Amino acid sequence: MKEIFENVFFKEGRIYTKNLTPGISVYGEKLVVEDGIEYREWNPFRSKLGGAIKKGLSEMPLKRGSDVLYLGASTGTTVSHVSDIVEKGSVYGVEISQKMMQKLLELAELRENIIPILADARKPHEYEEIGKVDVIYQDVAQPDQDRILMINANMFLKKGGYAMLCIKSQSIDVTKKPKDVFEEVKRNLSSLFEVVQSINLEPYDKEHEFVLLRKVK
């Protein structure tokens, strides 16, 4: 295994994270043991962050000990890999769907660093007690994706902290070309962030762009 980022590994064209809960697979992913350490294969077709890594993510803001606000946690597929990476850091997983939250709660019972929050990401005051975080990861398929990130970043993200945003063009405006939607979202965010890298997620996710941002104000 070659470590390409902290707690992210690469071997024979596949990416892995070191399993925080050995012996337990989260979403049916393959478990691999090497030199006495168990790793979980990271499926880029099931995770936009996995897809971004496969497509050449140049910088990984998630580190051991990072505190992360994850907006749109869903059932916890990507959350689980983030949990592996940050180890003793915390992953605050915000999810609005009660059905999805049930799965996330089950995952959190196995992983102490995941804190599930049933809330609307448009209403960050509902979970203001989490305090400041190092990274915001957002995968929320809503027309106001940029606004949701801005209001959460203003409340929680440390200056110089990073945001990882998954832009789904079809959730914003189906009448525009995806490229135009992506550029508009980044312009809207430019008052608070600088763009570090933009990655088109094809073939892993259609009409999606993954954007790594740094908070400058």
pLDDT tens digits, 123-167: 999 999 999 999 999 998 887 899 999 999 999 999 999 999 998
Going from the C-alpha of 155 to that of each of 11, 33, 69, 170, the distances in angstroms are: 39, 41, 11, 27
Least confident of 3-12, 18-27, 71-80, 177-186: 177-186
Contact 50, 79 (CB under 8 A): no
% of the chain at pLDDT higher than 70: 98
Q: What is the pLDDT of residue 183?
A: 81
Contact 60, 82 (CB under 8 A): no
What is the arithmetic mean of pLDDT over 92-111? 95
The 10s digit of each residue's pLDDT in 182-192 is 888 888 899 99
Contacts 24+ apart (CB under 8 A), 145-152: 145/171, 145/172, 145/185, 146/185, 146/188, 146/189, 147/122, 147/188, 148/71, 148/121, 148/122, 149/71, 149/189, 150/188, 150/189, 150/192, 151/122, 151/124, 152/69, 152/71, 152/121, 152/124
Q: What is the pLDDT of residue 173?
A: 62
Q: What is the pLDDT of residue 174?
A: 66
Rounded Cα distance between 104 and 116, Å, is: 7
What is the arithmetic mean of pLDDT over 204-209? 86
Burial 58-76 (b: 16+ CB within 10 A, else e): eebbbbeebbbbbbbbbbb
| Threshold 0.85, pTM exceeds | yes
% of the chain at pLDDT higher than 90: 83
Percent of the chain that is helix, strand, coil (3-state, to 5): 30, 35, 35
Does domain 43-215 sit in CATH 3.40.50.460?
A: no
Is 60 a residue whose pLDDT tops 80? yes
Residue (of 43, 154, 150, 139) closest to 93 by Cα position? 139
